[in-house]
Chains A and B, each alone.
Chain A
Amino acid sequence: MTRKMTGAKMIVQALIDQGVDTVFGYPGGAVLPIYDEVFQQNSIKHVLVRHEQGAVHAAEGYARSTGKPGVVLVTSGPGATNAVTGLTDALLDSIPLVVLTGQVPTFMIGSDAFQEADTVGITRPCTKHNWLVKDTDKLGGVLHEAFHVATSGRPGPVLVDIPKDVQFATGTYTPKKPSTSHYQPPVKGDMEEITELVSAIENAKRPVFYTGGGVINSGPAASQLLRELVDGTGFPITSTLMGLGAYPASGDKWLGMLGMHGLYEANMAMHDCDLMINIGARFDDRITGVVDMFSPKSKKAHIDIDPSSINKIIRVDIPIVGDVGHVLEDLLKVWKSRGRKTNSEAVGKWWKQIEQWRAVDCLKFEQSGKIIKPQYALSRLEALTKKYNRYITTEVGQHQMWAAQYLGFEDPNRWMTSGGLGTMGYGFPASIGVQMAHPDALVINVAGEASWLMNMQEMGTAMQYGLPVKQFILNNERLGMVRQWQELLHGERYSQSWSESLPDFVKLAEAFGAKGIICSDPDDLDDAIMEMLEYDGPVIFDCLVEKHENCFPMIPSGKAHNDMMLAGVDTQGVIDAKGSVLV
């Protein structure tokens, strides 16, 4: 069945056909025909953000917490350029997004028209793919293909740039149908390689699972298979920042996060293992540290849907290209059919070694005196919110790392953070996107005061849509992570790392009609958190914390995994000249 309609109507129709229920956007001249169609329908909710960057991060939060693509609609020129940070963020973290931008009419492209920007040119390196549609007849097909590309293989953001005359013109709508495009990344892994991994699992003496965001990308079924594999083999498991929740934090095989600010036991296990099984992680530099010293004695397997992730940074012995869910299913089948074997005696010894590392208790801290330690604030938040149907987003900095260390995630899709790009200003709009998708859940953004200010305008959005997002700000009046690096690397010369002239966050909340809570006394903290949880509406929680706390453990730049700094050590001179050029 072919149908004639305007381009603008096609856009709304395509979104409906793709099952989209929420769009985050901001209008402008070049998208007015689309907004006119949005006005005349009730199938799709449109969330009016206060800045286009907010729209993209909100869509990321929506996507990561639902597994569905996030959708954004913005205007040409400044609307599109404001979306660039969010697109780059989504590209680095493999978040599926479909971003629609308006463009000046086709006959004015290239003339420096009002609000013209070369959007496909600007966003080519920060999207998985993008399109400029110059023909209304092609619009429907491109939009469906956009959803296909965003969600297939390694997910990522795509952008469709639509000139205004294409929106006005009438054309034939191509309905949604199974994709016939040549872009069909394979999901099944090579059985020979999978079988080789099974043999390695059967023989390993000191194995470790190193899992990442790819498990989350693969969907909840992949997390279930991972749990079955971990519990079946009894091997220890660690995860990157992006993979938290795929395996439950309460599971006894769980070592905690690994990497630069990962747990001692996780990093030591990675360094000393004889079999490393990477499942959907990409050997990021926050994980490997100095590549030459990374886990020198291990055989390495890597399961990843993107061939370019394999051997990019670390040479692996057993490469498996495929989707985590599909590969784990085959892997479990083969392992079971061969009798579910492991070298349990050796693995038992390995666990004894791990227990000794665990006994170091690298996250211990002491809450004494009248100043709230950030670690204490997060431990209390964890204790008081654990039983809730809870989603956590974060900003970027020390608070983000402490959140990863002190909060426990039992399920996938519950933890939204900007890992690859490390975008300050991500967490607040992301919390809005999450709350839109899960209206009845408790959504908390763990923030630093500096990051939070970067997209604070979104208070208006939270209020307008009655989204009870809780902004839990660990306020150290410092760009804490920057201050920490200056302490370690730059002779305690704290150049520009103060948060001066901060607003009164309680008054700020009230100015928007929200609730503000301030807390500075550890003895009041529990009550204050309960007050936040009980309030039905957005809350800004200004938690005044210790100003000079450092985030440990830390693998200093230029050091190996078994060379970690723990709390209470001398911080001077630990990073040499070679390490200090690294970020």
Chain B
Amino acid sequence: MSALKIKKGSNSHSAYNLRPNFSDVIERHTLAVLVENEPGVLARVIGLFSGRGYNIDSLTVAEVDHTGHLSRITIVTSGTPQVIEQIKAQLGRIVPVHEVHDLTVEGPSVERELAMFKVNGTGDKRVEALRLADIFRANVVDSTLETFVFEITGAPDKIDAFADLMRPLGLTDVARTGVAALSRGN
């Protein structure tokens, strides 16, 4: 009994983790929240986090089911196990929320993020940037005589690592989408 998978309308609560451990260790969890795609729903979710003092490390949202009017919000948050359980329960009671999944505890999952980096440089630095981009499988999506815009997809830590390498090579701008995540297998 570990993950919270709120299926509205079901009579089983076995997915609630009502007996969490109460350690003080801060954990990072990725939550996938399936919501009714109606006006204000994102404000409700964000308002919950700001109103109750929870952390948002990353948040992405987009419609995933046009006919069913459902959007998927992926939130990366951090807190003690008790706080994480509260966050999930509080998300679950927002009326337009259909399902809450804690991908961190529900089994293996994959996380991806897309980022774009603008790097400004000439000479050796420019060559080195291109070489590293190749290693990281980043694509060049725009180039001028002095700049490149790289596009890179990967797990957030891979993108962090790429950013660290680009910084001394003339990194000027970064745009990141935030994390999208799915569970593996069935």
A interface list, Cβ under 8 A from B: 120-121, 124-125, 128-129, 132, 149, 153-154, 182-186, 188-190, 306-308, 310-312, 315-316, 319, 321
Q: How large is the interface on B (under 10, 10 to 19, 20 to 34, 35 or more residues)?
A: 20 to 34
Task: Apart from A124-B44, A184-B8, A307-B16, list 16 A-B contacts with CB within 8 A.
Answer: A120-B40, A124-B47, A128-B95, A129-B95, A183-B95, A186-B10, A186-B11, A188-B11, A189-B13, A190-B12, A307-B93, A308-B86, A308-B90, A311-B86, A312-B89, A319-B19
A310 and B18 in contact (CB under 8 A), knowing A183-B8, A188-B11, A190-B13?
yes
B18 partner, pick from A121, A185, A319, beta carbons under 8 A: A319
Residues of chain A contacted by B39 (CB below 8 angstroms): 132
Listed by A's residue number, 17 A-B pairs whose Cβ atoms lie within 8 Å are A121-B40, A124-B43, A124-B44, A125-B47, A125-B51, A129-B95, A132-B39, A153-B93, A154-B93, A182-B8, A183-B8, A185-B8, A186-B12, A189-B13, A310-B18, A312-B89, A321-B16
In the bound complex, what is the Cα–Cα distance between A153 and B47 (angstroms)?
22
Residues of chain B contacted by A183 (CB below 8 angstroms): 8, 95
Give min CB distance, B138 to chain A, whole Å.
Answer: 40
Whether A121 contacts B43 by the Cβ 8 Å rule is yes
Give the A-B contact count at a CB cut-off of 8 A: 67
Judge whether B98 is part of the interface by a CB distance below 8 angstroms: yes
Q: Chain B 48-68 against A: per-residue CB contact (8 Å), 1 yes, 0 no? A: 000100000000000000000
Whether B95 contacts A149 by the Cβ 8 Å rule is yes
Whether B47 contacts A311 by the Cβ 8 Å rule is no
Judge whether B168 is part of the interface by a CB distance below 8 angstroms: no
Whether A312 contacts B98 by the Cβ 8 Å rule is no
In the bound complex, what is the Cα–Cα distance between A308 and B18 (angstroms)?
9
Residues of chain A contacted by B96 (CB below 8 angstroms): 129
Residues of chain B contacted by A153 (CB below 8 angstroms): 93
Q: Chain B 76-103 against A: per-residue CB contact (8 Å), 1 yes, 0 no? A: 0000001001100110110110100000
Whether B22 contacts A315 by the Cβ 8 Å rule is yes
Judge whether B20 is part of the interface by a CB distance below 8 angstroms: yes
Whether B90 contacts A182 by the Cβ 8 Å rule is no
- Most B C-beta atoms less than 10 A away, residue of A120, A149, A308: A308
Judge whether B2 is part of the interface by a CB distance below 8 angstroms: no
Main DSSP-derived SS at the A contact region: loop
Main DSSP-derived SS at the B contact region: loop
Whether A307 contacts B95 by the Cβ 8 Å rule is no
A321 and B20 in contact (CB under 8 A), knowing A124-B44, A308-B86, A308-B89?
no
Query: For residue A319, which residue of chain B has the nearest CB?
Result: B18
B interface list, Cβ under 8 A from A: 8-14, 16, 18-20, 22, 36, 39-40, 43-44, 47, 51, 82, 85-86, 89-90, 92-93, 95-96, 98
Give min CB distance, B2 to chain A, whole Å.
Answer: 14
In the bound complex, what is the Cα–Cα distance between A128 and B90 (angstroms)?
12
Whether A182 contacts B9 by the Cβ 8 Å rule is yes
Give min CB distance, B180 to chain A, whole Å.
Answer: 24
In the bound complex, what is the Cα–Cα distance between A580 and B178 (angstroms)?
43
- Most A C-beta atoms less than 10 A away, residue of B22, B85, B89, B92: B89
- 5 closest A-B pairs (Cβ-Cβ)? A319-B18, A308-B89, A129-B95, A184-B9, A307-B89
In the bound complex, what is the Cα–Cα distance between A183 and B92 (angstroms)?
10
A311 and B92 in contact (CB under 8 A), knowing A121-B43, A124-B47?
no
Give min CB distance, B17 to chain A, whole Å.
Answer: 9
Query: For residue A307, which residue of chain B has the nearest CB?
Result: B89
A307 and B18 in contact (CB under 8 A), knowing A120-B40, A125-B51, A183-B95?
yes
Give min CB distance, A150 to chain B, whole Å.
Answer: 11
Query: For residue B16, which residue of chain A has the nearest CB?
Result: A307
Whether A308 contacts B93 by the Cβ 8 Å rule is yes
Whether B22 contacts A306 by the Cβ 8 Å rule is no
In the bound complex, what is the Cα–Cα distance between A238 and B174 (angstroms)?
59
Residues of chain A contacted by B22 (CB below 8 angstroms): 315
A307 partner, pick from B9, B12, B13, beta carbons under 8 A: B13
A186 partner, pick from B13, B36, B85, B86, beta carbons under 8 A: B13
In the bound complex, what is the Cα–Cα distance between A310 and B85 (angstroms)?
10
Residues of chain A contacted by B44 (CB below 8 angstroms): 124
Residues of chain A contacted by B86 (CB below 8 angstroms): 308, 311-312
Whether B95 contacts A321 by the Cβ 8 Å rule is no
Residues of chain A contacted by B36 (CB below 8 angstroms): 182
Residues of chain B contacted by A311 (CB below 8 angstroms): 18, 20, 82, 85-86
Query: For residue B82, which residue of chain A has the nearest CB?
Result: A311
Residues of chain B contacted by A189 (CB below 8 angstroms): 13
In the bound complex, what is the Cα–Cα distance between A183 and B9 (angstroms)?
7
In the bound complex, what is the Cα–Cα distance between A190 and B92 (angstroms)?
18
Give min CB distance, B167 to chain A, whole Å.
Answer: 40
Residues of chain A contacted by B11 (CB below 8 angstroms): 186, 188
Give min CB distance, A566 to chain B, whole Å.
Answer: 34
Residues of chain B contacted by A186 (CB below 8 angstroms): 9-13
In the bound complex, what is the Cα–Cα distance between A315 and B22 (angstroms)?
8
In the bound complex, what is the Cα–Cα distance between A308 and B93 (angstroms)?
8
Residues of chain B contacted by A184 (CB below 8 angstroms): 8-9
Give min CB distance, B157 to chain A, whole Å.
Answer: 31
